[in-house]
Structure 1
């Protein structure tokens, strides 16, 4: 029992770290756990990873909202002009869509969290900047991440069953 708790704690830590640092792959970690033959049920593994991912992505979300003070390297300097380019226009349109069409916003968040298209790391930042409601971000992100990592956790068993 202690070994399982330790493994779940480690899994949570790796999932938070991977949410913050894209060079860390929680997908590879999860596949390694499953192929190693742990006794952790797929749904519990998916639940722990999804919770860790959302915990990490919340830091990006709150930083984009301005609720977390970033180091000087990542902040805009006082007096810098805001330039109007295509990227800025797209972001403004996305913010407007998020506020006017909550079903569309939830769908984009859910698809991004499950499929990472568009990348969920980018969507977490943009959702924070666009002032997406926290509950919508957490619920849709968690459900999408649970689906993603649940499918990943059961995939080796399904493939082995076919062979």
Structure 2
């Protein structure tokens, strides 16, 4: 029992780390864990990973909102940009922000699809959602449901494939 608790604690840590640093793949870790320790129920693994992922993404969300101050070394240096390129990007972001305000169901759907399929990447959507002032409850609920479904399917896949074959 202690081994499973230790594995789940490590899984939580890896899921938070992968939420903060996209170079870490919690998907590969989860598949390896399921293959090594098939006694862990898929839903427990999905719950732990989804919780860690949302916890990590919440830091991105709040940083984009301006509620968390980033260390100075993470700030971009101001440089001259093409005014036309900046205008297109700013126009798109403003349009996204307005859509989030005026169409909360649309904002929730974008968050849910991104959390489930990672298209568009959930890391980017978490940042833009924070900047667009999407309600925290919308971010938490849709993000958690999407991440739980994603990692639940991933955790159940090896067992389902073994039973199918």
For 1:1-163, what aligned pairs fall within 5 Å after superposition?
1-75=1-75, 84-163=86-165
Count how many residue pairs are aligned between Structure 1 and Structure 2: 163
For 1:151 and 1:40, how far apart are their aligned partners in 2? 14
For 2:126 and 2:51, how far apart are their aligned partners in 1? 15
Cα offsets for 1:81-118 (capped at 9, x unmatched): 9x542111111100000000000000000000000000
Deviation at residue 162 of structure 1 after TM alignment: 1.9
Gapped regions of structure 1 (runs ≥ 5):
none
Aligned to 1:85, the other structure's residue is in SS state: helix
Gapped regions of structure 2 (runs ≥ 5):
none
State the 4+ residue runs in structure 1 displaced beyond 4 angstroms.
none
TM norm structure 2: 0.93
Deviation at residue 76 of structure 1 after TM alignment: 5.5
CA RMSD of aligned residues (A): 1.9
Structure 1 residues 29-38 or 149-158, which shifts more?
Answer: 29-38
Cα offsets for 1:57-83 (capped at 9, x unmatched): 0110000001111122333669x99x5
Cα offsets for 1:22-48 (capped at 9, x unmatched): 110000000001111332100000000
Cα offsets for 1:122-157 (capped at 9, x unmatched): 000000000000000000000000000000001111
Aligned to 2:53, the other structure's residue is in SS state: helix
For 2:158 and 2:4, how far apart are their aligned partners in 1? 20
For 1:147 and 1:118, how far apart are their aligned partners in 2? 16
TM norm structure 1: 0.94
For 1:68 and 1:128, how far apart are their aligned partners in 2? 11
For 2:74 and 2:101, how far apart are their aligned partners in 1? 26
For 1:113 and 1:76, how far apart are their aligned partners in 2? 27
